[in-house]
Amino acid sequence: MEGRGHSDERRRRLTRRGAPALGGAFLVILLIVLIASSGPSPAIGVARRFTHAWERSDYRAMYAMLTPAARRGIDAAGFTEAYRTAADTATATGVAAGKVSETHGGARVQMAVRTRIFGTIKARLELPVSHSRVAWSRDLVFPGLRHGEALTRRSDPPPRAAIQAADGAPIVSGPAQSRTPSAAGRGIAGQMGVPQNPADIEALYARGFPQGRPVGQGGLERILEQRVAGRPGGTLLEGRRVVRRAASHPAQAVRTTIDLHIEAAAVSALGGRLGGVAALDPHTGQVRALAGIAFSGPQPPGSTFKLVTLAAVLTGHVAKPTDTFPVATHALIDGVPLDNANGESCGGTLENAFVQSCNSVFAPLGVRVGAKRLVDMAERFGFNDPAPFPGAKPSTIPHPDGITSNLDLGSTAIGQGKVLATPLEMASIAQAIAAGGVQYRPTIVAGPRPFPRRAIDRRIARTMRRLMVEVVRRGTGTSAALPTVEVAGKTGTAELGNTRGPNATSGGAANTDAWFASFAPAKHARIAVGVMLIRAGAGGQTAAPVARQVLSAALSRG
C-alpha cells in the first residue's frame, strides 16, 4: 500500500510539471499555423498579379482582373490600346514592378518604366482594389498619373544625317522634309515619305518622333533609317506636370560602302527597265552598287540556281564534271516533261550540260541529290537567311518537307517551283565562289569584316569557277565577255507561266525573267555582280550584257 501511495504521488508531481510544457507547445503550434495561414492580403495579391502581367505586356490577363463596372466602361481592345498608347508616348521599352504594400482601399506598387529617350522613370502606382478586382480608371495606364491626368509628349526631333559614298562623296543630305540627293547618288538614295501604315505610324511615334515625320521609304534612306534619323528628344508630361525632359542627339554622317562610279554604271545599264543590279566586293561582301529592285523584289532565279544544284552535286559526289548524260530536249519526271530552253537538244558531259544550261540534265540531277541536300546547300549559300539590312527581302526555298514530289524537286533544281531570289543573293553566291567557297553576309556600311561562313569546299569552288568561265567563253553567257579579262558567269531564264505538261505556256520575252550571276577577273576577282530583268527574255541575251557593263566599270577603277 505504501509503495502504491508513493507511485501515485510521483504521477501527480509529473502531471503538474508537464502541464505547462504541453501548454507552451500548443501555443507554438498555434502561432505557426496562424503565420502560415496569414499570407499577403487579397489587395497585394491582386496588385502583384496585375503588375506582373503588365511586365509581360499581357493586357488580356490585366483586363480579366478588372471589376465588372470597369469592364463596362472599356472593352478589351480599348484597354490594350490605352496601355500601348501610353507606352509609345513614353517611348517605353519595358516596365518592372517592385515593392508592394497595402493601402486603404487597395495597394501601392513601386514601378520602374524603361524608356528609349527619357531614361528609367520610377513612380508609384496607386491601385484601387474592390472584392479582389481592380477598380480601373484611365490614370492607371502609367505610374504616377493623378486622377483625370493624361500622359502626353512634346517631341523634339534632331536634324537628319547625311549619307555618303565609300570615298566620302555625298549621296543625299538635308532636312527630313526636303532631302537633296547628289546627281551621282540619285539612283540609290531612295525617297522619304510620311508613314501611312498604322503599324509604321505607331513604330515611329514609339521611337520618340512626332507623328507625320517623314522617314526613309526606299533605297539607302530606308536601309539606314535608324542610323541617320538620330535620337529624338522631347518633354514628357502628366497633365501639366513635366515628368522628364530629354535633349535630341543628331546622328553623324553615315559612310556607306557604295562606289558611285559602279553605281552609275549599274543604273545606266539597267536603263530604266524593271529589274535590279547588285555588285559586291568578293573578298568582304561589301555592297558596291544597288540599282532598281536588287534587294527588294525576289523572283524565281531560273538557271542561275543551277550554281546551287551543281554545288550540291559535286559536294555529294553525285556526279563529276566528266560524267556523261543523254542528249535530249527535255527530262520526263513523274510523267511530265521539263523542257530545255526553246526545246533545244543538249546533254553530254556534266560540264557541257552546265555550260549549255540543260534542264534535261539538271532536273533529274536534282532528284538524285534529294530535297534535303539541295535545300541544305541553298541555305549554306544564304537562302532562308534573314534579310541582310532593313528594306531587303530574303531569298527563300521551301523546307525539304514542302518539296513533295520528284517533279517539284526537279523544278526546284532548275530554279523554278517555289524558289525565290534577289539579284543581291545571286551576287552573293557568285561572291562565295570567287572567294574560294567562303561567303560574307552583304554589308552596306563600312566596318569590321563580317564573320564568314564556308559554303563549299575550296576545291569545289575552283571547279565551279572553271565551269563558269566556260559559260562565258563558249556557252550561254558569251554576251558577258570582256576583251582582256576572264569573266565567270551563269545565265538564267526563269519561266513565269506554267512550264509543265500539255497546258504549258511558253515562250516570248514577256513570259521570262532574265538573270545573270558573275564575277571578274575569274582567278583574282575584284567584283561580283547579280542581274535580274523582269519579263525581258533570255538571261544570256539581255541580263549578261548588263553585267558586262557593270563588271567593266568596276574593273576600270584600277
Mean pLDDT of 452-471: 97
Mean pLDDT of 50-64: 97
In this model, does residue 139 exceed pLDDT 80? Answer: yes
The pLDDT value recorded for residue 342 is: 80
Q: What's this model's pTM, rounded to 2 decimal places?
A: 0.83
Mean pLDDT of 38-43: 73
What distance in Å separates the CA atoms of residue 203 and residue 231, rounded to the nearest whole number? 14
Mean pLDDT of 477-499: 89
The pLDDT value recorded for residue 558 is: 65
In this model, does residue 2 exceed pLDDT 90? Answer: no
The pLDDT value recorded for residue 343 is: 83
In this model, does residue 3 exceed pLDDT 90? Answer: no
The pLDDT value recorded for residue 66 is: 97
The pLDDT value recorded for residue 447 is: 83
In this model, does residue 495 exceed pLDDT 90? Answer: no
Mean pLDDT of 38-61: 91
The pLDDT value recorded for residue 24 is: 52
Contact 341, 280 (CB under 8 A): no
Which of the four pLDDT bands, split at 50, 70 and 90, describes residue 490? very high
What distance in Å separates the CA atoms of residue 286 and residue 264, rounded to the nearest whole number? 17
In this model, does residue 509 exceed pLDDT 50? Answer: yes
- The pLDDT mean for the chain works out to 90
* Percent of the chain with pLDDT strictly greater than 90: 85
Contact 419, 413 (CB under 8 A): no
Which of the four pLDDT bands, split at 50, 70 and 90, describes residue 448? confident
In this model, does residue 26 exceed pLDDT 90? Answer: no
| C-alpha of 99 from chain center | 38
In this model, does residue 513 exceed pLDDT 70? Answer: yes
Tell me which residue of 318, 426, 315 sits closest to 367, measured CA to CA: 318
Complete domains list, the chain, with CATH: 42-149 (3.10.450.100), 163-255 (no CATH), 260-480+519-524+549-555 (3.40.710.10)
The pLDDT value recorded for residue 13 is: 45
Helix axes 359-369, 406-413, angle to 10 degrees: 120
Mean pLDDT of 226-233: 96
Mean pLDDT of 337-352: 91
Contact 477, 491 (CB under 8 A): yes
Rg (alpha carbons) of the chain, rounded to whole number = 35
Mean pLDDT of 127-149: 95
In this model, does residue 407 exceed pLDDT 60? Answer: yes
In this model, does residue 80 exceed pLDDT 80? Answer: yes
In this model, does residue 355 exceed pLDDT 80? Answer: yes
What distance in Å separates the CA atoms of residue 305 and residue 422, rounded to the nearest whole number? 11
Mean pLDDT of 213-223: 94
What distance in Å separates the CA atoms of residue 532 and residue 427, rounded to the nearest whole number? 11
In this model, does residue 481 exceed pLDDT 50? Answer: yes
The conformation of residue 249, written as its DSSP 8-state character, comes to B
The pLDDT value recorded for residue 227 is: 95
What distance in Å separates the CA atoms of residue 533 and residue 547, rounded to the nearest whole number? 11
Would you list the DSSP string of 41-90? -HHHHHHHHHHHHHHTT-HHHHHHTB-HHHHHHS-HHHHHHHHHHHHHHT
Which of the four pLDDT bands, split at 50, 70 and 90, describes residue 557? confident
In this model, does residue 506 exceed pLDDT 60? Answer: no
Highest averaged pLDDT of the listed ranges 31-45, 57-71, 488-502: 57-71
Mean pLDDT of 140-158: 95
Which of the four pLDDT bands, split at 50, 70 and 90, describes residue 50? very high
In this model, does residue 500 exceed pLDDT 70? Answer: no
What distance in Å separates the CA atoms of residue 289 and residue 264, rounded to the nearest whole number? 8
Poorest-pLDDT segment among 226-235, 251-260, 310-319, 448-457:
448-457
Would you list the DSSP string of 182-224? -TTTHHHH--EE---SHHHHHHHHHTTPPTT--EE-SHHHHHT
What distance in Å separates the CA atoms of residue 172 and residue 255, rounded to the nearest whole number? 11
The pLDDT value recorded for residue 28 is: 43
The pLDDT value recorded for residue 10 is: 46
